[in-house]
Chains A and B, each alone.
Chain A
Amino acid sequence: MIEVKELTKKFGSKTVLNGISFTADKGQITCLIGINGVGKTTILNAIMALTPINSGEILIDGEKIHKESYEKITFIPDATIMLPQMRISEAMQFMADFYDCWNQKRADEILQFFRLKENDRISELSKGNTAKVNLLLGLAMDVDYLLMDEPFSGIDIFSREQIANVFSSHLVEDRGVIITTHEINDIEHLIDKVVLLDNGVVTKEFNTEEIRENEGKSVVDVMREVYQG
């Protein structure tokens, strides 16, 4: 389980996150939703210790993050984080060199699933394919937790469909996934849990099936209530 407790983060005098708390379970897809600029990416960066926090605590399976944690949790940002001049095959080799949890068999499978060519250079890929390479490099790690930042933003409809299919596949099965988005449509049926963010606080945290079952509301219905009500 990933536990975010009372997370506060300031940029200069501006408080971006003001006591954020939520949990994300293993085996579940948790979705952080909020309009742009509410600090969703900052939360993911903070979980991965890629930015300092002002106060609060983040635990992964009860532990603070340490170097071995990166074999257990990984982050797929919305931009490529491999060297652009690398070929996909070289990027995979880099991953294999540095991570014990790299699973080449799975990588090959995802390569096929996304119809990527391993000799292509990352710098020469379309936006959709770049996003897929990013996903490939994260999904092929045998990690317990996957964080994804806006996996659907700014890419074509067919790539979106392909990427959405990942979430109903064994590629994320049994793992804990946190994804951020400002657009829920592509994945409304796929997520287990929603954390709504606004003005640096969690405005609502709910289980999607429960809200449908108990209140007969869609995720968008709840968002409308929270943001406009």
Chain B
Amino acid sequence: MSRYFKLVNFELNRFIKIYLVLAGVIILSQIAGVILQANSYLRMASEIINVEMLSRSEFINQYGTMSFYQITQSIWFDGPIALSIVSLLIYVFFIWYRDWLGKNTFVYRLLMLPTARINIYLSKATVIFLMVLGLIALQLVLLPIEINLLKWMVPLDFRTDMSIYEILMTNYMTILIPLTITEFIINYGTGLMVVFIVFTAILFERSYRWKGILFGLIYGAFAVVLFFMPMILQSTILYEFFYPLELLALHFVTGLIVMGLSVWVGNFLLNKKIRI
């Protein structure tokens, strides 16, 4: 067990630089986005008010107030989130392939550690999961700061305040930051399951190389079908047989089965089939 934690720590350290850069980009870009957009709105407001001789309320009537909604719609806000998502998706693959690449094949060392090889798998998955949660936490800390920054920059008359809850409700962020614990478990449980499926597919490729790509794809397809089996049954032979809550519970079960299966197959491949 202690070697699992050491591996998690080690894997975290290997990605920490890029990770901190990502966090930095999110912070800088989103803060800059708030400042730039607030400024451009205020500049526009003062120009229009001066040039067209409108009163404040006429301006607000015609052009609307500034709210955090505009902020979240901009590339300054979405861009770094998309960048982080893409980076972490790539890292799901790179976290394995980096051990094989280059002159220095670190995978020798990893496979010769005096610990169950599945710990390598689990520690890598843990690190991906922790990194996702870390960025989510960062976003949650950042939102109130950004909200207050906007309040501080834009006078009360010109803005419509939104709570964090309202902000999360208005766009895709409700997927990333679910509002209920059930949704959280569904979204992140599914995410973790996908990471496991991909990891096992990668190990198929690493074990059988070219043929392994095929095996990996077949495994991935099989796992996805298995996971959605209740829904597939529901819409085919068992027409509307389950209540929605039952369906959810069944997906929970198939999800756990897929995760368990992925870990089991991954363990088998690491112990019996892997090649350096």
Contact = CB atoms under 8 A, between A and B. Distances in A.
Bind each other: yes
Contacts of A75: 108, 112
Nearest to A77: B108
Contact of A81 (B104, B207, B274): B104
B276 interface: yes
Contacts of A81: 104-109
A218 interface: no
Contacts of A77: 105, 108
Interface residues of A, number: 27
B10 to A, nearest CB: 7
Interface in A132-181: none
Contacts of A71: 114
B112 A52 contact: no
B276 A68 contact: no
Contact of B276 (A50, A74, A99): A50
B116 A82 contact: no
A52 B275 contact: yes
B116 A67 contact: yes
A21 interface: no
B255 to A, nearest CB: 29
Interface in A87-146: 94, 97-100, 122-123
Contacts of B45: none
A199 interface: no
Nearest to B7: A98
A84 B108 contact: no
Interface string A187-206: 00000000000000000000
B14 A83 contact: yes
Nearest to A71: B114
A45 B3 contact: no
A80 interface: yes
Interface residues of B, number: 26
Contacts of A207: none
A83 B98 CA distance: 10
A48 interface: yes
Contacts, number: 67
A15 interface: no
Nearest to A81: B108
Interface string B111-145: 11111110000000000000000000000000000
B106 A82 contact: yes
A75 B109 CA distance: 9
Contacts of B111: 48-50
With most chain A CB atoms within 10 A of its CB, the pick from B14, B105, B113, B115 is B113
A55 interface: no
A80 B3 CA distance: 22
A65 B274 CA distance: 15
Given A52-B272, A52-B275, A97-B6, A70 B114 contact: yes
Given A45-B276, A79-B103, A82-B104, A94 B112 contact: no
A122 B104 contact: yes
Nearest to A74: B112
Nearest to A122: B104
Contacts of A45: 276
A67 B114 contact: yes
Contacts of B114: 67-71, 98-100
With most chain A CB atoms within 10 A of its CB, the pick from B109, B113, B272 is B109
B105 A79 contact: yes
B104 A50 contact: no
A77 B105 CA distance: 10
A70 B113 contact: yes
Contacts of A49: 111, 271
A74 B207 CA distance: 22
Contacts of B105: 77, 79, 81
B273 interface: yes
Given A52-B272, A81-B107, 10 more contacts: A51-B276, A52-B273, A52-B275, A67-B114, A74-B112, A75-B112, A79-B105, A80-B103, A82-B104, A83-B106
Interface of A: 45, 48-52, 67-71, 74-75, 77, 79-84, 94, 97-100, 122-123
Interface of B: 3, 6, 10, 14, 102-109, 111-117, 207, 271-276
19 contacts: A50-B111, A50-B112, A50-B274, A50-B276, A51-B276, A52-B272, A74-B112, A75-B108, A75-B112, A81-B105, A81-B107, A81-B108, A83-B14, A83-B106, A84-B103, A97-B10, A98-B114, A100-B114, A123-B104
4 closest residue pairs by CB, A with B: A81-B108, A70-B114, A50-B276, A81-B109
